[in-house]
Amino acid sequence: MKNNFDQVINRHATGSVKWDFIDRYQNMQTDNLLPMWVSDYDFACPSNVLEALHRRVDHGVFGYSERDEKYYTALTNWFERRHQLLIRPEWVCSIEGVVPGLSLLVQMLSQVGDSVVVQGPYYGSFAKIIKLNQRNLVENPLQEDPDAGYVMDLEQLEELFSKYRPPLFILCNPHNPTGRCWSKDELTKLLTLCEKYDVTVLSDEIWADLLLPGSTFTSVLHLESRWHSRVIAATSASKTFGLSSLRISNFLIPDADLKGRFIERLNAHGLDVFNALSMEAATAAYNGAEHWLDELLGYLAANRDWFVSQVENYMPWLRVIPAQGTYLIWIDCRALGLNDDELKNVMTEIAGIAPSMGSGFGPSGSGFIRLNLGCPRSYLEQAIKGLLRIGAQ
């Protein structure tokens, strides 16, 4: 059966952060903005997931729950089938979200005042968990590249490692907001540096399943096993299948000592019980929603192609950054010659859209916007009409 991703589903008054809380979180006052900021889909989740949830709800008993054999098998089979990655059930630590897990790991693997390195532009929650845990955020800006979009600046990274001696590096792969999928070669060079300076890598791989045609994903766990003692991969079914509010993620930690310490942390916070509905949804998604995802990836790729062609053909004042993954699009607006406040006003008051402002991704995001293309095509048509009005000014 073909899924109808063109269907518009009204998300107003569902407690949706993206639709109902633009004012509170984005401080954008204009009414009737088209929200293109938060990264979640405006699509219904896969029907087999809905059916599994209905069945579980109908059971009616919601006592304490734990992950069973089915959960681990669904997860390990998924990584083997989709990414040719063999993970062992004993590596898996589950926690309600990637961000809370990363935050606990920042606490576990660094001290107050230590430096933690991220590549800019960086996902805003990385800054939040580093700064609110009283660590020092050190930015290693990515370099713009006409073909790849962005490339790593490993030379500067080495200088930063040598100067700040950080215990931790947070990697985002595929990269939010730029859509870069890091190659094996780039990751190998990165890990070589991390080994030289004794840095542990927290690799946020939440976007791993969202690849554009022809792109592949390389996990830090695909690299040499001697690096397993210094890598942790954070994964989740949430981005892939549109389950963000169900709150479940899996941290893959091959090193027994690191894993043991993380489990102890989770236990210390009482985070050793699991949500029955989340587990049901994740298991059903990994087991039975592969076809849904493949169809969706086709829809998302067509969305991107159409959007990019509109911008390239009719909006010389914007520049789309080439991407290999995610359903996000990172757009260079610097040719407009506006500061970030002015850019925000133009986007809301003239284009009528609520983007994620690039300035929320650190200093190297200034002058950019990020849009979420995980929506019905008609929303993109509305966004393009709005963006065209900027040129008419």
Ligand X SMILES: Cc1ncc(COP(=O)(O)O)c(C=O)c1O
The residue ranges that bind ligand X (CB under 6 A) are 39, 97-99, 123, 172, 176, 204, 206, 236, 238, 244, 249
Residue nearest to ligand X (CB): 97
Residue 129: which of 170, 96, 93 has the closest Cα?
170
Q: How far is the CB of 163 from ligand X (least distance, A)?
A: 26
Looking at beta carbons only, is 131 or 163 nearer to ligand X?
Answer: 131
Q: How far is the CB of 41 from ligand X (least distance, A)?
A: 11
Q: How far is the CB of 40 from ligand X (least distance, A)?
A: 8
Is residue 384 within 8 A of residue 39, CB to CB? The reply is no
Q: How far is the CB of 317 from ligand X (least distance, A)?
A: 27
Q: How far is the CB of 101 from ligand X (least distance, A)?
A: 8
Looking at beta carbons only, is 182 or 315 nearer to ligand X?
Answer: 182
Q: How far apart are CA 237 and CA 279, in angstroms?
A: 10
**Residue 16 Rama label (left phi>0; alpha psi -120 to 50; beta):** beta
Q: Measure Cα distances from 4 to 13, 67, 262, 332, 381 in Å.
A: 23, 32, 41, 31, 17
Q: How far is the CB of 290 from ligand X (least distance, A)?
A: 21
At 260, list the tokens.
Answer: 């043991």
Looking at beta carbons only, is 231 or 315 nearer to ligand X?
Answer: 231
Q: Measure Cα distances from 319 to 121, 307, 313, 334, 352 in Å.
A: 16, 12, 11, 9, 19
Looking at beta carbons only, is 76 or 238 nearer to ligand X?
Answer: 238
Looking at beta carbons only, is 74 or 328 nearer to ligand X?
Answer: 328
At 258, list the tokens.
Answer: 């690191």
Looking at beta carbons only, is 236 or 240 nearer to ligand X?
Answer: 236
Is residue 38 within 8 A of residue 21, CB to CB? The reply is no
At 355, list the tokens.
Answer: 């983007």
